[in-house]
Structure 1
Amino acid sequence: MTLDDRPTRPATPADLLDRLRDSVRDGLPAAIADLSTLVRIPSVSWDGFDPAHVEASAAEVARLLTELDVFDTVVVDRVEIPGAQGVLGQPAVFARRAARGGKPTILLYAHHDVQPPGDEADWQTPPFEPTVIGDRLYGRGAADDKAGVIAHVAAIRALVEATGDPELGIAVFIEGEEEFGSRSFGALLAKHRDLLAADVIVVADSDNWNVTTPSLTVGLRGNAAFTLTIATLDHASHSGMFGGAAPDAMLAAVRLLATLHDDDGAVAVEGMRAHEQSVPAFDEERLREEAALLDGVRSIGRGEILHRLWAQPAITVTGIDAPSVQNASNTLLPKVSVKISARVAPGQDAREAFEAVRAHLEAHAPFGAHLAFSNVDCGNPFLVDTSGWAVDEALTAMHEAWGEEPRLVGVGGSIPFIAQLNDTFPDAHVLVTGVEDPDTRAHSPNESLHLGVLHRAVLTEAVLLARLGGAVELGAASRDGE
């Protein structure tokens, strides 16, 4: 489906739209204050960081949801990570209110955990001290994804203020470990399936075309991440005495990793496939600006840039365990471990892609190097069914809130749990929205949120909730859940 051939939907009544606009505008200072409170909590979900901060973040989210006074239940819960006996995942927050009058139920997802800040010297402001500079709020999690949490909270506030107690059913799932692989996500889904069941699922964890044009994400790459250990020696040896005859692990690793890409930088692994799809125009200059390419550095891969980002596989070495330059000695290393992140194009199973990468590495191991694979984590890609009525409703709400035609886009990053949501609730319509923009720098130093985007994202969701709650006659398909 394209924007040109989607069915025309009746507009939201002007008086209701005005009330929603007023409520969202008047509530924006409170929303920014609530977001700032969340950003001050360093809720990094990775091992090695204090889990008490994630617990504090979950408690604050639960407080915000409880104070809306619309939910029948608000619960904070954590469950055992599958395959890790006795190890609990990070706390997630759940809420639900029952639908009335035959109205549908909408599930609102976001996550309250964040990435590590990295080197604080790379930040222009303290990472966990929210700071407004111009029209942007800086801080770790200010956009990814605590702004998603606040978009849900603020939209519900505006809806209640503009329409009173809604008949729409609303469920909320605010996860606490999305940035660390959603390890207990499946177990949480299984335990709270009835609490989360919905007709429409909104995942507020994506981005927008720019700060004035909204996007609905309809395609996501999957991921296959793992640790690879390359070993060549039983113990370290003197590089002067044995270098030139005994192959060290670093040499083997460098040569092996180089085989993953061809001379253009495209993935050279047989069995990793691309997805055929058309993409909007996106020139090299925009890539250069948004990805911060240095002068003289050219892009990698082949084909349209957005096809490379949305629909082709990618492989990145994201970490390496080896002596630092400061601690380097004249030694042949016996083994080297690297973290590899493979992005999987829509249409290919992530486990199949991992096996293709494994087979490639084993076939190209130089000098007889020994390879070991561990910490394998696979998440499937996802394609949204754009023929569903809820997609039309989301696009209509975006247009009414932003005053611009929204874009249907793909995303190069991965949100593997969306495929799990779809498997658990196969009849639900999945909508992937977000509050990010090309300058957000999610996961990087100086992450920030454009406050105008937050304003319009909240209004979009408030309009969508109002429409699903009966403000507009949506037609038989949506009433019947078809």
Structure 2
Amino acid sequence: MLDTSPRDAAVDLARSLAGDDAFRAALADLIAFPTDANDPDAPLHAYLAHVAQGFAAMGFEMQGYTSDGHPFLLVSRVEDKSRPTILGYAHGDTVPGMAGRWANGRDPWALDVDDASGLWYGRGIADNKGQMLVNMTAMQAVIAARGSLGFNAHLLIEMGEEIGSPGLRKVCEKLKSRLKADLLIASDGPRIDAMTPTLFLGARGGASFRLTLRRRTGGRHSGNFGGALKNPALELAHALACITDAQGALQVKGWLPATIPDAARNALAGLTPAGGEVDADWGAKGLTPAERIHAWNSAEILAFSAGDIAHPVNAIPDMAEAVVQLRYVPGIADDDLGAALRAHLDAHGHGDVTIAELGPRFRASATPVDNASVGFAAASLARTHGAPPVVLPSLGGSLPNDIFTEVLGLPTIWVPHSYPGCAQHAPDEHLPAALFPQAAGLMAGLYWDLGTASKSALGLG
């Protein structure tokens, strides 16, 4: 029998730890904190104090901060300043629990283990408490196997990501020297599917706009006035229709990137995104669904209202409103997004529609696919998994990645431990139990390799 290498021992230990009763109990403890970011009475500070105890047991030092009224926790383990320094990120806040809407009477703030399906349920299990615990467990395994991490680590935990990360930019600006690092490696968002290791290198930006058209006060009889009075619902429908073509491809000048880089196109070749739940004939022409989600821009109507759909009456409505959201990749002038939409609607005869941007906005940012640190991380995951991971140029959704790239000047690599069907913003948020040991092993391998790598091997020196 071949001797197990120290790296293999660390990977095996991480898998074992993530599959034992202590991991399940630790996850249950995290979920039990009802950290709804929208609830002013949520125990956000208590959650961070609990997390701090776990990191203290692993030899980390910690410091709490408050920015824009929101709490943050920074945990650090500095072993050798000549070694690479890795910054991690996590958030402990969640969306509302939605109690009473979960199947089988589940309590959103209690871990529910369904042995029959192999799924574990609880608010925050996927977004983002379970993902943070996976990385903690992987670090624990590496420290136990090696006696050290082999690199320096900082982890910044915030409690407001679900409401736009208020204060995160300010705290990073204030702590810029304290957070000095070579690379961000963090976990949030979904993999391409439940059991396929995935890297993504940034996030599409997100900007939302409320479009309003008011013609008068009060409705007018649809028989007595119909055909001779402007109907704001019809007018706004035409305004919305000009934002894309009939197949959903963006038409707004200034909302479109110039091209997809060859490295990004190659990374996405042959990939089926979103669990295959896509319409191949929808969106920008000449692009695959994977390219449309991870390397291109899209606009969606999130809401459209006129009259009372539950109780329609025979009247022309006096006003209509809609919310339009743009998801966009790096490379466009995002300071002018509202102006670009204004010019487009005016050019199509819809100058009476008013536009108001709705906050918060996430800016687009991403590390290039051909960055050396990306190749290093992908090779590490491939060594552990036995096959290359999927590498996505950008997450289809949005994260505060731009703060790490712009304020801290870091390359960013995200290693997600969730999947598209996890229901993270809905009732019945869950993850497969089998994902935890697999993900912990991947991260242990990556952390082990970081502990042996030089800065030049990471493309940092």
TM (normalized to structure 2)? 0.85
Q: Could you say which residue in structure 2 is the equivalent of 1:85?
A: none
For residue 121 of structure 1, report the CA deviation from its aligned partner.
Answer: 3.4
Q: Which residue among 154, 161, 167 is the counterpart of 2:144?
A: 161
Summarize deviations over 1:57-104 as a string: whole Å, max 9, x none.
Answer: 3343333333x34122232x3212xxxxxxx3x322221222326222
For residue 25 of structure 1, report the CA deviation from its aligned partner.
Answer: 1.0
Q: Could you say which residue in structure 2 is the equivalent of 1:58?
A: 48
Q: Which residue among 123, 143, 160 is the counterpart of 1:140?
A: 123
- Check the 8 A contact 1:320/1:337 in 2, yes or no: yes
**Do residues 127 (structure 1) and 115 (structure 2) align?**
no
For residue 314 of structure 1, report the CA deviation from its aligned partner.
Answer: 0.8
Distance 2:447 2:133 in 1: 15
Query: For 1:233-252, what aligned pairs fall within 5 Å after superposition?
Result: 233=216, 235-240=217-222, 241-252=224-235
Distance 1:320 1:61 in 2: 42
* Percentage identity across paired residues of the two chains: 22
Q: Could you say which residue in structure 2 is the equivalent of 1:113?
A: 93
Greater share of helix residues, 1 or 2?
1
Q: Which runs of 5+ in 1 are unaligned?
A: 1-12, 81-87
For residue 123 of structure 1, report the CA deviation from its aligned partner.
Answer: 4.4
Q: Could you say which residue in structure 2 is the equivalent of 1:311?
A: 295
Q: Could you say which residue in structure 1 is the equivalent of 2:269?
A: 280
For residue 452 of structure 1, report the CA deviation from its aligned partner.
Answer: 2.4
Query: For 1:29-68, what aligned pairs fall within 5 Å after superposition?
Result: 29=20, 30-46=22-38, 49-66=39-56, 68=57
**Do residues 466 (structure 1) and 448 (structure 2) align?**
yes
Q: Which residue among 257, 277, 282 is the counterpart of 1:291?
A: 277
For residue 212 of structure 1, report the CA deviation from its aligned partner.
Answer: 3.5
Query: For 1:376-455, what aligned pairs fall within 5 Å after superposition?
Result: 376-426=359-409, 428-455=410-437
For residue 343 of structure 1, report the CA deviation from its aligned partner.
Answer: 0.7
- Check the 8 A contact 1:381/1:414 in 2, yes or no: no
Q: Which runs of 5+ in 2 are unaligned?
A: none
Select between 239-248 and 447-456 the one with higher mean Cα deviation. 239-248
Distance 2:299 2:184 in 1: 30
- Check the 8 A contact 2:91/2:129 in 1, yes or no: yes
For residue 282 of structure 1, report the CA deviation from its aligned partner.
Answer: 4.1
Distance 1:119 1:421 in 2: 34
- Check the 8 A contact 1:211/1:452 in 2, yes or no: no
Question: Residue 27 of structure 2: SS of its match in structure 1?
Answer: helix
Query: For 1:142-291, what aligned pairs fall within 5 Å after superposition?
Result: 142-218=125-201, 220-233=203-216, 235-240=217-222, 241-274=224-257, 275-276=259-260, 277-278=265-266, 279-282=268-271, 290-291=276-277
TM (normalized to structure 1)? 0.82
- Check the 8 A contact 1:224/1:343 in 2, yes or no: yes
Distance 1:22 1:61 in 2: 21
Distance 1:91 1:321 in 2: 37
Q: Number of matched residues? A: 447
Aligned Cα root-mean-square deviation (Å):
3.1
Summarize deviations over 1:206-235 as a string: whole Å, max 9, x none.
Answer: 3323333311113532222233332222x2
Q: Could you say which residue in structure 1 is the equivalent of 2:339?
A: 355
Distance 1:461 1:324 in 2: 51
Distance 2:101 2:249 in 1: 33
Q: 1:456 to 1:352 in 2, by over 3 A?
A: farther
- One-letter identity of the residue aligned with 2:204: R
Distance 1:185 1:148 in 2: 19
Question: Residue 106 of structure 1: SS of its match in structure 2?
Answer: strand
Q: 1:23 to 1:149 in 2, by over 3 A?
A: closer
Question: Residue 87 of structure 2: SS of its match in structure 1?
Answer: strand
Q: Could you say which residue in structure 1 is the equivalent of 2:456?
A: 477
**Do residues 72 (structure 1) and 61 (structure 2) align?**
yes
For residue 24 of structure 1, report the CA deviation from its aligned partner.
Answer: 3.7
Question: Residue 374 of structure 1: SS of its match in structure 2?
Answer: strand
Distance 2:32 2:316 in 1: 45
